[in-house]
Amino acid sequence: MQCLRRQLQLTSKLLRLYSAKALAPVVLRPYQESCLDACLDALTSGSTRIGVSLPTGSGKTTVFISLLSHISPPTGFPSATRSLIIVNSVELALQSAAQAKRLNPQWSVEIEQGVKHHASGLADVTVATYQTLLQPVRLAKFNPTSIKAIIVDEAHHAAAPSYRRILSHFDPAVKNPDATFQPPALPHSIPILGFSATFSRHDGLALGSVFECIVYHRDFLEMIREQWLCNVRFTSVKANIDLSGVTVSSRTGDFNATSLSHVINTEVVNKLVVSAWLDKGANRKSTLIFCVNLAHVRELTAVFRAAGVDARYVYSGTPAAERRALISSFKAGQYPVLLNCAVLTEGADIPNIDCVIVVRPTRSRNVFAQMIGRGMRLSPDTGKEDCRIIDFVDSTNRVAGVVSTPSLFGLDPSEVIDDETIDALEQRKDLEAKSQGPERHYDSHDHIPDPNCRSSVLMLGLAAVETSTFWSALGKVSFVSNATKIMKMHRFKRILHQRRFR
């Protein structure tokens, strides 16, 4: 009995130590605090559908979970204490749930996803995939009267009909695409808060159908300069590819994968990719490669292996356990090259990536930014100093609208870029602008504009483009006067905040 008592005392002491450690408040970065303030002020002003644009590696999950802890039940409805986080993959669901539990051990956290994860609908926080919530019986678990807030991760997807089918159950202002849908009569408003690294769409669907305003934005260039993201070195390789005959999907506005594969997945191009990696990336520890489709992934992997490189791949059909094992061993540095197609573009948290190769031409700035963003996380524990980005540009027929490293910086796509830093590329852009007069735009048409273009869309800019470009991408968004005032105020607060921390 005495031995058992000592064991219980020891267990109790360990639990107290664990709890004390777990309950230690998270220290937010300055820009995360500013983002939190902007969101809370917008909600206080009466806005209920707001967006936040933060780049890959900036800690979006930490921000929105911290935000949930600051949102109280609506006045007069003390029982509305639950939150719903909507994600688009099981990996993101697991990540968000783990982070919610880590930051708030006192919360009950559940996952609603597929056949494996069934939530009760009664937890403080439920993380659900939108695919699962499209099933009426699964969505019915979440009574709007008990919900205080909804988070939409990767919120650039929110204008899609699938997302609107879900969100319209919690806010009648979001139009359900089904003509027979009857909007619910809700006793209180439920804030819908969208977070994304690339807050625009390339397919023409209007994000304004879901979000009233975007209250905070940081682009990856700012984050790199302030050393919240790692330094980047860019190389563009000219390839003998002709994209002029590649068909474009009417649904996404991007290249059709099968058609694109006929041009990209060739022996010549695949050997060029491996040769470029051997020349520029062989000294890198962890290289992530984006391919067009499964056939391309398999054949390019085979070319790497034929060159003596331990390369492996994942795709949507890779069994979940095998995928986890492949990514886990890649994170551990057990092999140098991981190839994928449309699997690791979003939500992949692999900080050790120090080289990204884009062998998947795209017409979408969103997709390009997501791909290169995978390598921008800081990883001092692995000795990572910077990330090398290698992309391949059409040297045969320049096709308008294709996003590449040169066009990302407003340079002519024919420019030669070899191991250049962001500062060097921006200097080249400035010199080109001075020599050629008014700025030319070589990028695709899903930009987000510079914050200085218009005060009512403050903090939306990734690049300096005409304001009209933004409205065509975002759609008709009603920026009420109080939201405009909030964003103007936060511009002033942000400037002061930056000066304080520099």
* Predicted local distance difference test score (pLDDT) of residue 451: 29
pLDDT digit string, tens, across residues 417-461: 999 999 899 888 888 777 776 555 444 444 333 322 232 333 333
Provide the pLDDT confidence category of residue 229 given band limits of 50, 70 and 90. Answer: very high
Residue 397 has pLDDT above 70, yes or no: no
DSSP 205-254: --GGGT-SEEEEE--HHHHHHTTSS-EEEEEEEEES-BGGG--B-TTTSS
* Predicted local distance difference test score (pLDDT) of residue 22: 42
* Predicted local distance difference test score (pLDDT) of residue 431: 84
Written as one letter, the residue type at 259 is: S
pLDDT digit string, tens, across residues 305-325: 999 999 999 999 999 899 999
The fraction of the chain above a pLDDT of 90, given in percent, is 62
Average pLDDT over residues 363-375: 90
Name the pTM for this structure: 0.78
pLDDT digit string, tens, across residues 55-66: 988 999 999 999
* Cα distance between residue 304 and residue 274, in whole Å: 6
Residue 7 has pLDDT above 90, yes or no: no
* Cα distance between residue 365 and residue 407, in whole Å: 10
Written as six digits, the tokens of 380 are 């001092």
User: What 3 state SS string does 106-125 have?
Assistant: CCCEEEEECCCECCCCCCCE
* Cα distance between residue 280 and residue 126, in whole Å: 44
Location of each CATH 3.40.50.300 domain in the chain:
9-222+459-501, 230-436
In terms of residues, how long is the chain? 502
* Predicted local distance difference test score (pLDDT) of residue 400: 76
The dotted CATH code for 230-436 is 3.40.50.300
pLDDT digit string, tens, across residues 256-274: 999 999 999 999 999 999 9
Q: Look at residue 320 and give its three-state secondary structure.
A: helix
Q: Look at residue 386 and give its three-state secondary structure.
A: strand
Q: Which of 187-201, 206-220, 299-313, 467-481 has the highest mean pLDDT?
A: 299-313
Q: Give the domain 9-222+459-501 fold.
A: Rossmann fold (3.40.50)
pLDDT digit string, tens, across residues 9-45: 433 333 333 333 344 567 899 999 999 999 999 999 9
Contact present, 184 and 167 (Cβ < 8 Å)? no
Tell me the C-alpha to C-alpha distance, in Å, between residue 283 and each of 54, 87, 95, 384, 392. Answer: 30, 35, 30, 12, 20
pLDDT digit string, tens, across residues 330-340: 999 999 999 99
The fraction of the chain above a pLDDT of 70, given in percent, is 79
- The per-residue pLDDT of the chain, averaged, comes to 82
Tell me the C-alpha to C-alpha distance, in Å, between residue 436 and each of 316, 413, 428, 429, 431. Answer: 45, 15, 12, 10, 9
pLDDT digit string, tens, across residues 102-134: 999 999 999 999 999 999 999 999 999 999 999
